[in-house]
Structure 1
Amino acid sequence: MKASLKLRDDAGPLLRAKLPVELFSVPAVASLTAGDPADLRLSLATAVPALPSLRLSYAPNRPAGSSPLSASLVLGYGPGGCPSAPGASAITMVVEVSAAGALSFSLALKPSLGDFAVRKRFYSDGAGGGMSASEVAMRSVVPVRGGAAAARVRWGVRIPAEMTAGVEAGAAGVMLRRLPFLVLGKVTVERRAGKPAPEVAQQEEAAVEKVRRENEKLRREMEELRATAGQRREKETVALAGAGRSGGGRSPGMSTKRDGVDVGPQVNPAS
């Protein structure tokens, strides 16, 4: 599961949550987008490796006259146009068709080098086109709960779209309307599936080794108790056998010899 919070200048924060699911044995991702009322959206997108992603969305608070249902084709830079492959998000193109037939198009450029990236987005909704502000971003990763999850923080320097438009039009005055500024763009918390962090693995191994040593100690103590009980039973058996031999070889009235002399039978004086 992955959740993110995107900070925006012209609107409230945008919250996204994604959960991997299966749709008829096909890997997919269910997502929820919330922020301002117009941002509410429920989506279900396929996540098949080496294939583009097909996304179905429901946005109940779209403007009047717009259909809340839409279908999108998401193409990435990965093999076969897959947008979810590693490094596939450098170039992402989305073609969306609403149930009413309205067509929109967007292109996102996000080339990266390590933790640094440049972000630029172009879009068209049929009534006109535009572009977002450029952003030079850096990503920081902080482990959470011993590596079971990770928090990614994206921050950087944003270049307003007016500056880019001014350069293209040759109007130097437009460039001074807004200057580049430092932004905290997005905070993402993602659960990691796989091996835990090294310190967690070491703690687990130490706990397993402690249990193994305790079991080995108990096994040795049980073997010693069994051996002691066996030796005691053997001694008791030998003692009983010796007592039987010493007392069972004579009977009253029988003659005995002492120092080679027959002393006759032992008679009880009382009789």
Structure 2
Amino acid sequence: MKASLKLRDDAGPLLRAKLPVALFSVPAVASLTAGDSADLSLCLATAAPSLPSLRLSYAPNRPAGTSPLSLSLVLGPGPGGCPSAPAGASAITMAVEVSAAGAISFSLSLKPSVGDFAVRKRFESVDGEGGASASELTMRSVVPVRGGAATVRIRWGVRIPAEVTAGGEAGAPRTGVTLRRLPFLVLGKVTVETRSGKPPPAPEVEVQEEAAVEKVRKVNEKLRKEVEALRATAGEGREKETAELAGTHRNGGGSSPANISRKLSGADVRL
């Protein structure tokens, strides 16, 4: 499950929740969006790893004259037009939305990123009228929770105010521009994502674990062979000492108990 809270200046916070589901054996995601009354919507989207995403959305509080039901096709640079790249979110996605009333809209989202830094830009077109959102420079912080069972992602943004005025006194020619306020840092979005089961180890950690197990197996095999060789050597020594004692008695040698004891202990010293 994945939940996020987006903070907005011109409206209340926007809450989104996503839950993975299965749609006729096809992986899908069910999502709920809530904020202001106009933001309420339900969505069901396919999430096949090598196909475009097909989304069915229902927004009951859309403006009058528009249909609350719409169908969207989302394309991306992934395999087969998948909007999700193998390493995460795609740098570019395009969506075509058709409402039940026949209205068609297009949107293009640009999200190039380098490490934890990204730039976001969105273009939209409805019935021939287009518009573009302001550019946004963002950075991301990731905090693991409960040993990796969940992660909290915090998206920060650098905002440059649009308040630009001409300087100079009244009647004087406007020769320069001045920013009334300096750029400032804002908190844009907080996302919490839970993971089912134990998180898989990183590839390099898995390779190291396999190498350690193989090393322990080889050491155990070497110790087992050395123990078997020691046992065989000890058995041969006992058989040889027994044969020497038996030969001494047959030859009539007068060995005292002390002499026999010394033979058994491995020292052939006669008194």
Amino acid at match of 1:56: L
Contact kept, 8 Å, 1:133 with 1:161, in 2: the verdict is no
C-alpha deviation, 1:128, in angstroms = 2.4
State percent identity of aligned pairs.
83
Matched, 1:121 2:127: no
C-alpha deviation, 1:106, in angstroms = 1.1
Q: 1:186 aligns with which of 186, 189, 200?
A: 189
1:250-261 counterparts in 2 under 5 A?
none
Q: Decide which moves more: 96-105 or 178-187.
A: 178-187
Over residues 28-53 of structure 1, what are the superposed CA-to-partner deviations in whole Å (9 max), with x where a residue is unaligned?
Answer: 00000010100000000000111100
Amino acid at match of 1:185: G
1:79-90 counterparts in 2 under 5 A?
79-85=79-85, 86-90=87-91
Alignment-derived partner of residue 231 in structure 1: none
Matched, 1:60 2:60: yes
* Whole-angstrom CA distance in 2 between matches of 1:124 and 1:178: 32
Over residues 81-109 of structure 1, what are the superposed CA-to-partner deviations in whole Å (9 max), with x where a residue is unaligned?
Answer: 11123345210111111000011111110
Alignment-derived partner of residue 99 in structure 1: 100
Q: 1:111 to 1:162 in 2, by over 3 A?
A: farther
1:3-18 counterparts in 2 under 5 A?
3-18=3-18
* Whole-angstrom CA distance in 1 between matches of 2:116 and 2:131: 27
Unaligned runs of 5+ in 2: 165-173, 202-271
Amino acid at match of 2:151: A
1:192-211 counterparts in 2 under 5 A?
192-196=195-199
* Whole-angstrom CA distance in 1 between matches of 2:163 and 2:128: 20
Amino acid at match of 1:181: F
1:184-263 counterparts in 2 under 5 A?
184-196=187-199
* Whole-angstrom CA distance in 2 between matches of 1:154 and 1:191: 17
C-alpha deviation, 1:178, in angstroms = 7.2
* Whole-angstrom CA distance in 2 between matches of 1:178 and 1:128: 32
TM-score normalised by length of structure 2 = 0.65
Amino acid at match of 2:140: R
Q: 1:148 to 1:130 in 2, by over 3 A?
A: same
* Whole-angstrom CA distance in 1 between matches of 2:179 and 2:72: 38
Alignment-derived partner of residue 229 in structure 1: none
Alignment-derived partner of residue 34 in structure 2: 34
3-state SS, counterpart of residue 84 of structure 2: coil
In the alignment of these two chains, the number of paired residues is: 191
1:65-84 counterparts in 2 under 5 A?
65-84=65-84
C-alpha deviation, 1:173, in angstroms = 8.1
Amino acid at match of 1:113: V
* Whole-angstrom CA distance in 2 between matches of 1:32 and 1:174: 44
Amino acid at match of 1:78: G
C-alpha deviation, 1:174, in angstroms = 8.7
Contact kept, 8 Å, 1:20 with 1:29, in 2: the verdict is yes
TM-score normalised by length of structure 1 = 0.65
Alignment-derived partner of residue 207 in structure 1: none
C-alpha deviation, 1:177, in angstroms = 7.3
* Whole-angstrom CA distance in 1 between matches of 2:175 and 2:112: 28
* Whole-angstrom CA distance in 1 between matches of 2:28 and 2:122: 25
Alignment-derived partner of residue 153 in structure 1: 154
* Whole-angstrom CA distance in 2 between matches of 1:154 and 1:172: 38
Q: 1:106 to 1:150 in 2, by over 3 A?
A: same
Q: Which has the higher helix share?
A: 1
Alignment-derived partner of residue 252 in structure 1: none
Amino acid at match of 1:191: T
Q: 1:68 to 1:78 in 2, by over 3 A?
A: same
C-alpha deviation, 1:197, in angstroms = 9.0
3-state SS, counterpart of residue 38 of structure 1: helix
Unaligned runs of 5+ in 1: 164-170, 199-271
